[in-house]
């Protein structure tokens, strides 16, 4: 039945672990809501003919089940909760009627009045989930949510101070924000605040995607996901998007995984902005080069074991003419070697190091999806690295740590 205007929504926390949730449509709305459903342990069925690259990656990694088609009557059978977000009004209405008939709580992205549930503005801090509903004023919901989360973080409960838009010749600066290695709690305070103030967010797949669910509905999220060896948004298109929206006077955040200037193409984006006379600010992020090994219990340096560590990209194979890495020199170093983007070329990298003198029995650890709930560690030696990665089904993103520090454990 229709919601009476004078009646408030009844707030409740859904325990969806292991329970069927059906998501219709795989666009921007689904991209923002799916990470929270996955984090809740829901058994997610996605029904959509196509998907954004980030949503496609969730299906490829097995986090959700994706049926590549449009809505059909009966899709909501056995569902506990439904998110309807397709661009087909008739399909949305039909699915909404089915939800009503089956008594499935249903969120409608296109028509809140026709929905039986509303998505609150949510935030998470130290095990506490804050959810705010203010009827049909989502910006106010987001502001109240932010105030409570900030108050819990620093011991006060007060609305956050919003900085005025800076006056400058080039307009509002673009923020190149390092989001850290994946855990949303590992973004810097400044990065999180700039994200909360954004009008437009250009986000990578490797950034802390859970933070996108906290953005109010008016924020435009541009998917710049770079799925390894898959489809990608060209760097020129990313640069153009930053420039276009900054010129329109919008607050733009380029949310990147790790640190913007560690294999993040942050300087390319900064150069493009400067060429157009647009100011920018860089918010450094916690790099996965150190944080991911640390999260797996591996120090990249240790007294008496390793007094240096070297970070290198493994994106280009050692025998590729485009490679700028001196693998012969790296093989002679005694310290720790940290390889990013090296899963695909792991066997060739190991062979090159062994060929140039690094011991075949050198211990190696591979940490996949470090700092996230899906983190796992696989150990090998340099000689067995490529085969171990294949046998264990290791997928990007993963950090490869080579050296004696891998064998250290707390005493």
The torsion angles phi and psi of 212, rounded to 5 degrees, stand at -65, -30
Contact, 92 vs 86, CB < 8 A? yes
Contact, 83 vs 30, CB < 8 A? yes
Active site residue 204: yes
**pLDDT reported for residue 159:** 35
From the candidates 75, 146, 213, 226, which is the catalytic residue? 226
Give the up-direction half-sphere exposure of residue 58: CA atoms within 13 A in the CB hemisphere: 28
CATH of 162-283, one of 3.40.50.150, 3.20.20.140, 3.40.50.300, 3.40.1010.10: 3.40.1010.10
Q: At what angle do helices 266-275 and 235-247 cross, to 10 degrees?
A: 50
Is residue 370 exposed (0-12), middle (13-18) or buried (19+ Cβ within 10 Å)? buried
Q: For 20-119, which CATH superfamily applies?
A: NAD(P)-binding Rossmann-like Domain (3.40.50.720)
> For residue 204, what is the DSSP state?
-
**pLDDT reported for residue 125:** 72
pLDDT along the chain (411 residues), means of 10: 59 91 95 92 96 93 95 96 95 95 94 85 75 76 81 48 45 89 90 87 85 85 69 81 93 95 94 96 96 97 95 93 92 96 97 97 97 95 97 96 94 65
Which of helix, strand or coil describes residue 202?
strand
As annotated, the residues of the chain forming the CATH 3.40.1010.10 domain(s) are 162-283
**pLDDT reported for residue 135:** 67
Task: Find residue 130's DSSP bridge partners.
Answer: 123
Instruction: Report residue 224 as tokens.
Output: 């710049």
Measured at the CA of 146, the angle between CA 278 and CA 39, to 5 degrees, comes to 100
Instruction: Report residue 98 as tokens.
Output: 């089915």
H helices, E strands: number in the chain: 11, 17
Contact, 193 vs 214, CB < 8 A? no
The predicted-structure confidence for 327-374, as pLDDT tens digits, reads as follows 999 999 999 999 999 999 999 999 999 999 999 999 999 999 999 989
Residue with tokens 């190696």: 364
- Cα–Cα distance list, 315 to 192, 269, 290 (Å): 29, 20, 18
Residue with tokens 């549930």: 117
In whole angstroms, give the CA distance from residue 285 to residue 262: 9
Instruction: Report residue 168 as tokens.
Output: 């400058």
Going by CATH, does the domain composed of 289-407 fall within 3.30.950.10?
Answer: yes
Active site residue 379: no
| Pairing status of strand 363-368 against strand 309-313 | unpaired
From the candidates 204, 210, 213, 259, which is the catalytic residue? 204
> For residue 70, what is the DSSP state?
-
The predicted-structure confidence for 235-282, as pLDDT tens digits, reads as follows 888 999 999 999 999 999 999 999 999 998 999 999 999 999 999 999
**pLDDT reported for residue 230:** 54
In the sheet with 398-402, reading across from the earlier edge strand, the strands are 309-313, 336-340, 398-402, 363-368, 376-381
As annotated, the residues of the chain forming the CATH 3.40.50.720 domain(s) are 20-119
**pLDDT reported for residue 231:** 57
> For residue 43, what is the DSSP state?
E
Contact, 346 vs 314, CB < 8 A? yes
User: Which H or E run includes 196?
Assistant: helix 189-197
């Amino acid at each position: 039945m229709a919601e009476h205007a004078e009646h408030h929504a009844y707030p409740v926390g859904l325990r969806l672990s292991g329970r069927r949730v059906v998501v219709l449509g795989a666009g921007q709305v689904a991209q923002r809501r799916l990470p929270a459903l996955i984090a809740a342990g829901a058994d997610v069925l996605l029904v959509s003919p196509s998907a954004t690259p980030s949503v496609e990656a969730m299906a490829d990694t097995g986090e959700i089940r994706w049926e590549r088609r449009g809505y059909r009557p009966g899709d909501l059978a056995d569902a506990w909760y439904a998110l309807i977000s397709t661009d087909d009004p008739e399909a949305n209405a039909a699915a909404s009627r089915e939800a009503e008939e089956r008594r499935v709580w249903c969120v409608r992205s296109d028509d809140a009045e026709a929905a039986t549930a509303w998505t609150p503005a949510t935030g998470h801090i130290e095990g506490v989930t804050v959810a705010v509903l203010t009827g049909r004023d989502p910006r106010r919901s987001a502001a109240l949510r932010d105030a409570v989360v900030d108050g819990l973080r620093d011991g006060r409960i007060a609305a956050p101070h919003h900085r005025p838009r800076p006056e400058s010749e080039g307009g509002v600066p673009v923020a190149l924000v390092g989001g850290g290695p994946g855990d949303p709690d590992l973004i810097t305070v400044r990065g999180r605040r700039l994200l909360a103030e954004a009008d437009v967010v250009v986000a990578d797949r490797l950034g802390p995607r859970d933070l996108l669910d906290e953005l109010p509905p008016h924020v435009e999220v541009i998917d710049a996901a770079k799925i390894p060896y898959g489809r990608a948004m060209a760097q020129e298109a990313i640069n153009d998007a930053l420039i276009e929206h900054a010129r329109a006077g919008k607050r733009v955040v380029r949310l990147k995984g790790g640190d913007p200037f560690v294999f993040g193409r942050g300087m390319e984006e900064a150069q493009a902005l400067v060429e157009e006379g647009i100011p920018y600010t860089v918010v450094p992020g916690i790099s996965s080069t150190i944080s991911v090994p640390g999260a797996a219990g591996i120090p990249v340096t240790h007294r008496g074991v390793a007094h240096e560590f070297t970070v290198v990209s493994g994106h280009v194979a050692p025998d590729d003419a485009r490679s700028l890495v001196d693998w012969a020199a790296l093989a002679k170093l005694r310290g720790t070697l940290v390889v990013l983007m090296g899963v695909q070329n792991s066997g060739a990298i190991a062979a090159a190091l062994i060929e140039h003198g690094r011991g075949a029995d050198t211990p190696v650890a591979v940490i996949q999806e470090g700092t996230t709930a899906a983190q796992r560690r696989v150990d090998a030696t340099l000689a067995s690295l490529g085969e171990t990665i294949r046998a264990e089904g290791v997928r990007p993103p993963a950090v490869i740590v080579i050296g004696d520090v891998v064998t250290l454990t707390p005493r």
